[in-house]
């Protein structure tokens, strides 16, 4: 059975982007997969606003046509996630955190009752049985360090919606030693290829 892969890029840079290069290499490892493509810089996801929030918190059966329309973009993004077996996400670190484009995507797909739900024992993610591969690049932020508010947050939010099988491919601290960082990331991708 053909696997479906969702390929997400968020770097504002079209040329010379390390994360775009890494995600392309990771996708190439899964050469037999059907690939869904989402470029958050090329086609930005709208920020949520008051109208969106009101629509989201209105029970589905009670939504007006305008509210249903307001959520169609979010529904489409969630449908891609539901369809995907593996999600590959490019994560350039901007000022110790996520690019705004990627945060906007998260705000659109983290929806109570759709991708997670609250239970008596706490929140439960609904997008289970999937795998995510994060391709991170940073100038000075070490992956998983106390100043890494990007990969740690993204791993947390993926787990929150049920995606707990997460691999981090990090080309971190490029400003300190780019060659070593890129070599480490390439080694991680080669390990993915061997495991595929």
Which segments are annotated as binding site for FMN? 11
**Beta-carbon count within 10 A of 140 CB:** 13
H or E stretch covering 75: helix 72-83
Residue pointed to by tokens 């707990």: 164
Q: Which residues does the annotation place in the binding site?
A: 11
- The enclosing H or E element of 31 equals none
Q: With contact defined as beta carbons under 8 Å apart, do 119 and 127 qualify?
A: no
Q: Is 162 left (phi over 0), alpha (psi -120 to 50) or beta?
A: left
């Amino acid at each position: 059975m053909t696997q479906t892969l969702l390929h997400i890029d968020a770097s504002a840079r079209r040329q010379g982007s390390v994360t775009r290069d890494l995600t392309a290499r990771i996708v190439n490892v899964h050469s037999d997969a059907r690939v869904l493509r989402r470029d958050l810089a090329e086609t930005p996801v709208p920020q949520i606003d008051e109208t969106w929030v009101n629509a989201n918190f209105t029970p589905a059966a009670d939504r007006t046509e305008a509210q249903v329309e307001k959520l169609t973009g979010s529904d489409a993004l969630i449908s891609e996630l539901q369809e995907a077996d593996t999600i590959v996400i490019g994560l350039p670190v901007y000022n110790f955190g996520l690019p705004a484009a990627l945060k906007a995507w998260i705000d659109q797909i983290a929806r109570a009752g759709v991708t997670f739900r609250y239970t008596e024992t706490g929140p439960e993610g609904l997008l289970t049985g999937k795998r995510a591969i994060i391709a991170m690049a940073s100038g000075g932020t070490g992956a998983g360090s106390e100043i890494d508010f990007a990969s740690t947050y993204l791993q947390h939010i993926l787990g929150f919606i049920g995606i707990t099988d997460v691999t981090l491919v990090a080309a971190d601290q490029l400003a300190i030693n780019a060659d070593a960082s890129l070599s480490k990331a390439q080694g991680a991708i080669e390990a993915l290829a061997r495991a595929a």
